[in-house]
């Protein structure tokens, strides 16, 4: 590790600026699904979802470079790129989701989505899940229950227990479990109304990524969608992690078969270039723009849209959704096999090229094993494979590689994980 | 104009997505201080401050392209660029402003600055000016008095009349005028305290750019800085427009000689690439990061920092601050000469390469002439020069070109303005 670089960083960015791993990595180069450190050591990247079509994909790099040399300016002049990109992007959604508002980050997208819901409903209450994170602006941070033990710090946000089957609410199962999770949403709506705040909307990740990618009781999203709309609220899906092919479908909500009113986008949208956005019903965008002068200086600029267009092109040309399905299922099978030999694996969950492995101290009590998760991800790094962890107990291994992840890469991931899990027992 | 492009844009982005000019421009290429439309027509760009070192500057484009081909990843791994950039950036400030937090936009920078002030003071009240705009997030939008006739819509934000000498408060002048503007800030602090909200801070542009670049009574910023700090609040300067050499000094607040606690940056920072940031006292950043898990996925990535570094390099190599001073003063003289021949010019104000020309129906009553301002900026566009307008009455011509603006460009700007003003009388 580069000690003087770390010291300078501490001095200039602060000691608490987040860094991965007990011994931080000094990464200097990326290519495809690999990252390389300053000593030339190669790491298989099974963590980074932002470079969705692979680190430094030449099609994206060339699109960025060519457009940056030609023109980069705001959207108050006409330009093809922002229109072409909005057209190709909205074409990947249900026909009702027909308009786009571009931002620079997923945080900005969620911030403007909350503004839309609150402005158009004339109400304040937002429902989120009990173990989530949607971004860093002041308004969006009110939903960051993952840092606050599931509680919200704002009266205008209520967290409901996220739907899951591994540690089910009150130990319930079957239809009773679904009913119980839905009843929590009903109760949140009722309490907003009783307080005079009313319901503006519900904002969730359609695959509950930060919650640990739980197995969601079938029918949950349909039923809460109905409740939210009956109460006059807007259903907002955060596709920042779930979107752009991650699940093997273009959008996470397509797995659930529920069409939201507003979708928010970010992270993989420009393969690392700062671009985010909202895709929503045309009547919502029109009404919002009538009420609010929203302008984003960099949002939708020709360079950002060139990156966005290039990502859509590569996803299609390289058939990365099909790859996410196929290699995703292959890894999921491999992880389930590992569960047979490693008692520490309590549960394996998968959605396309997104896998979570829940580590537990005891399979019967399902007591979380966060220290084991931390040990495994540091050991994986030492063996040249990058993963992370997540979930309300920080005990869930999080694997979410760039989508051009092959069976060969998958084998290396699985073999390395097998070894690191075995080392836990030593 | 490209009608089908406009129609597609209306359908995909909404009719109310902001566009400049009665007949929107279709810009396809930029170079230095020039923009080119789809018909190959050249426009002298006297509006765009974002491409501060000139449209598509090769040094910036090459830095972006090279780094994008090498690595683009978040800052939870060590990388030189974010540290080098933070070091060179903070070196341009007073020694007390020693740490940086990177974001992707000026809006995100102001949002995190407000979070810092509120989190660390434990109070809620923010003072802003009566005709301002600091960005588009929900929290920052509470300060957008420019869209609401000077009023704020939030109890936790109070607008004070911005300091000026052309339409002075209650017709006062001299020391009494300064006292009156300062007393408004005192009163805002007192009322926050009376309400139990307390003062978290004051956020202003140090040159009051959106307010129309007024002549500020000498000593105003010193005195309000003292008041804000005495009340335990943080002084935040928004350098999104004023910064990166615009005024002929690196930072707008250096003209006033007042060092703030927190500075926010955006627009010109990456010459169009989406990058923003906060520079603040180290104790503020450290304390904030202890309290708040702030992470920005794209903020401070190697590509964004490569763009930021290239901008600092070009500002220095091409001596653009000296150019802003010299050509800035030349244009200011020219505008004052135009005032002698055009009665519609009520006032001319300048700060380096930023000029505002206040148009009035009557020099004695100083009645604003917004229709004249609109006519002039559309006529300027028809004659191949791009400017805009601003201020509480939309009657102030706003000119703020890329900094490599020469005397030759200045002559073209002045001659075109002379003609367009003359045409007003026809």
Which B residues, 25 through 54, put their C-beta within 8 Å of a C-beta on chain A? Answer: 25-30, 35, 48, 50-51
Mean pLDDT of B303-312: 98
Which pLDDT belongs to residue B3?
Answer: 83
**DSSP 3-state assignment of A264?**
strand
Closest CA to A142 of B196, B277, B137: B137
Q: How many CB atoms lie within 10 A of CB B375?
A: 17
- Please give the share of chain B, as a percent, with pLDDT higher than 70: 100
- Please give the share of chain A, as a percent, with pLDDT higher than 70: 100
User: How far, in Å, CA of A302 to CA of A298, rounded?
Assistant: 9
Is the per-residue pLDDT at B53 higher than 70?
yes
User: How far, in Å, CA of B240 to CA of B252, rounded?
Assistant: 10
Mean pLDDT of A366-387: 97
Which of the four pLDDT bands, split at 50, 70 and 90, describes residue A378?
Answer: very high
Which A residues, 131 through 190, put their C-beta within 8 Å of a C-beta on chain B? Answer: 136-139, 141, 144, 147
Which A residues, 265 through 304, put their C-beta within 8 Å of a C-beta on chain B? Answer: 266-267, 271-275, 282, 285-286, 289-290, 292-298, 300-301, 303-304
Is the per-residue pLDDT at B294 higher than 90?
yes
Q: How many CB atoms lie within 10 A of CB B419?
A: 13
Helices A320-341 and A302-317, interaxial angle, to 10°?
70
User: Under an 8 A CB cutoff, do A72 and B80 touch?
Assistant: no
A76 interfaces chain B, CB cutoff of 8 Å: yes
Chain A CB contacts of B271 below 8 Å = 72
Cβ-based contacts under 8 A for chains A and B: 309
User: Under an 8 A CB cutoff, do A104 and B285 touch?
Assistant: no
Is the per-residue pLDDT at A352 higher than 80?
yes
Which pLDDT belongs to residue B426?
Answer: 61
Choices 3.90.1150.10, 3.40.50.300, 1.10.490.10, 3.30.110.30: CATH for B3-53+319-424: 3.90.1150.10
Chain B CB contacts of A398 below 8 Å = none
User: How far, in Å, CA of B138 to CA of B141, rounded?
Assistant: 5
User: Under an 8 A CB cutoff, do B78 and A285 touch?
Assistant: no
DSSP annotation of A234 reads E
Cβ atoms of residues B387 and B409 within 8 Å: no
Please tell me which of the candidates A64, A74, A136 has its beta carbon nearest to residue B68: A64
A24 interfaces chain B, CB cutoff of 8 Å: yes
Which pLDDT belongs to residue A285?
Answer: 98
Angle at the Cα of A55 from the Cα atoms of A53 and A56, rounded to 5 degrees: 100
Which of the four pLDDT bands, split at 50, 70 and 90, describes residue A188?
Answer: very high
A87-296, CATH topology level = 3.40.640
Instruction: Convert B306-338 to b/e letters by CB count within 10 Å (16 or more is b).
Output: bbbbbbbebbeebebbebbbbbbebbbebbeeb
Domain with CATH 3.90.1150.10 in chain B: 3-53+319-424
| Phi, psi (rounded to 5 degrees) for A413 | -60, -50
Which pLDDT belongs to residue A149?
Answer: 86
**Which strands make up the sheet holding B34-37, listed edge to edge?**
B27-31, B34-37, B42-45, B385-386
Chain B CB contacts of A27 below 8 Å = 71, 73, 77-79
A91 interfaces chain B, CB cutoff of 8 Å: no
User: Under an 8 A CB cutoff, do B70 and A90 touch?
Assistant: no
Domain with CATH 3.40.640.10 in chain B: 58-317
Q: Which two tokens stand for residue B16?
A: 């109310």
Mean of all residue pLDDT scores within chain B: 97
Determine the residue among B83, B113, B310 to mutate to test chain A binding: the one whose Cβ has the most chain A Cβ atoms within 10 Å. Answer: B83
B3 interfaces chain A, CB cutoff of 8 Å: no
Which of the four pLDDT bands, split at 50, 70 and 90, describes residue A2?
Answer: confident
* Residues 6 or more apart whose Cβ sits within 8 Å of residue B204: B128, B129, B132, B236, B237, B238
Cβ atoms of residues B235 and B225 within 8 Å: yes
Which pLDDT belongs to residue B149?
Answer: 87
Which pLDDT belongs to residue A1?
Answer: 62
Chain B CB contacts of A2 below 8 Å = 78
Which pLDDT belongs to residue A3?
Answer: 83
Residues B336-377 pLDDT 10s = 999 999 999 999 999 999 999 999 999 999 999 999 999 999
Determine the residue among A11, A13, A155 to mutate to test chain B binding: the one whose Cβ has the most chain B Cβ atoms within 10 Å. Answer: A13
User: How far, in Å, CA of A55 to CA of A268, rounded?
Assistant: 11
- Please give the share of chain A, as a percent, with pLDDT higher than 90: 97
CA distance B170 to chain A (A): 31
Is the per-residue pLDDT at B425 higher than 90?
no
Residues B166-220 pLDDT 10s = 999 999 999 999 999 999 999 999 999 999 999 999 999 999 999 999 999 999 9
Report how far Cα A391 is from the mean position of its chain's Cα atoms. 13
Mean pLDDT of B289-314: 97
Mean pLDDT of A41-69: 98
Q: Which two tokens stand for residue A303?
A: 């360079």
Mean pLDDT of A264-286: 98
Closest-CA residue in chain A for B101? A13
B58-317, CATH topology level = 3.40.640
User: Under an 8 A CB cutoff, do B29 and A71 touch?
Assistant: yes
CA distance B105 to chain A (A): 7
Which pLDDT belongs to residue B1?
Answer: 63
Residues B100-122 pLDDT 10s = 999 999 999 999 999 999 999 99
Chain B CB contacts of A16 below 8 Å = 286, 289-290
Region of residue A384 (left: phi > 0; alpha: psi -120 to 50; beta: else): left
Determine the residue among A51, A116, A138, A149 to mutate to test chain B binding: the one whose Cβ has the most chain B Cβ atoms within 10 Å. Answer: A138
Q: How would you class A170 by CB atoms within 10 Å of its CB: exposed for 0-12, middle for 13-18, buried for 19 or more?
A: exposed
Q: How many CB atoms lie within 10 A of CB A94?
A: 16
CA distance B109 to chain A (A): 9
Determine the residue among B2, B3, B11, B12 to mutate to test chain A binding: the one whose Cβ has the most chain A Cβ atoms within 10 Å. Answer: B12
């Amino acid at each position: 590790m580069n000690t003087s670089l770390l010291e300078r960083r501490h001095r200039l960015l602060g000691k608490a600026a987040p860094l991965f791993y007990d011994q931080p990595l000094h990464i200097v180069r990326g290519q495809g699904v690999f990252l390389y450190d300053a000593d030339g050591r190669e790491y298989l990247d099974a963590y980074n979802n932002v470079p969705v079509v692979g680190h430094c994909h030449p099609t994206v790099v060339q699109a960025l470079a060519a457009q940056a040399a030609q023109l980069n300016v705001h959207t108050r002049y006409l330009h093809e790129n922002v229109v072409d990109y909005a057209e190709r992007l909205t074409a990947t959604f249900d026909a009702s989701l027909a308009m786009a508002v571009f931002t620079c980050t997923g945080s900005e997208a969620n911030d403007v989505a909350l503004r839309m819901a609150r402005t158009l409903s004339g109400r304040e209450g937002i429902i989120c899940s009990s173990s989530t994170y949607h971004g860093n602006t002041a308004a969006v941070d009110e939903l960051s229950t993952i840092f606050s033990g599931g509680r919200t710090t704002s009266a205008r946000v209520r967290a409901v227990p996220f739907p899951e089957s591994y540690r089910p609410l009150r130990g319930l199962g079957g239809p009773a479990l679904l009913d119980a999770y839905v009843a929590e949403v009903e109760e949140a709506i009722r309490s907003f109304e009783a307080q005079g705040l009313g319901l503006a909307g519900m904002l969730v990740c359609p695959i509950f990524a930060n919650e640990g990618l739980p197995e969601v009781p079938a029918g949950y999203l349909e039923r809460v969608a109905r409740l939210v709309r009956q109460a006059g609220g807007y259903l907002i899906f955060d596709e920042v992690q779930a979107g752009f092919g991650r699940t093997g479908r273009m959008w996470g909500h397509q797995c659930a078969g529920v069409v939201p009113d507003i979708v928010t986008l970010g992270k993989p949208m420009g393969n690392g270039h700062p671009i985010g956005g909202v895709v929503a019903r045309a009547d919502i965008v029109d009404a919002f723009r009538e009420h609010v002068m929203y302008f984003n200086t960099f949002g939708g600029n020709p360079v950002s849209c060139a990156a966005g267009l290039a990502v859509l092109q590569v996803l299609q040309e390289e058939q990365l959704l099909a790859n996410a399905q196929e290699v995703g299922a292959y890894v999921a099978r491999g992880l389930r096999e590992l569960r047979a030999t490693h008692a520490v694996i309590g549960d394996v969950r998968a959605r396309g090229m997104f896998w979570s492995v829940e580590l537990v101290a005891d399979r019967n009590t399902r007591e979380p094993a966060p220290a084991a998760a931390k040990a495994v991800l540091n050991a994986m790094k030492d063996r040249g494979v990058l993963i992370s962890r997540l979930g309300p107990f920080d005990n869930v291994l999080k694997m979410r590689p760039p989508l051009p992840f092959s069976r060969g890469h998958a084998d290396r991931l699985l073999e390395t994980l097998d070894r690191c899990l075995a080392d836990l027992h030593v």
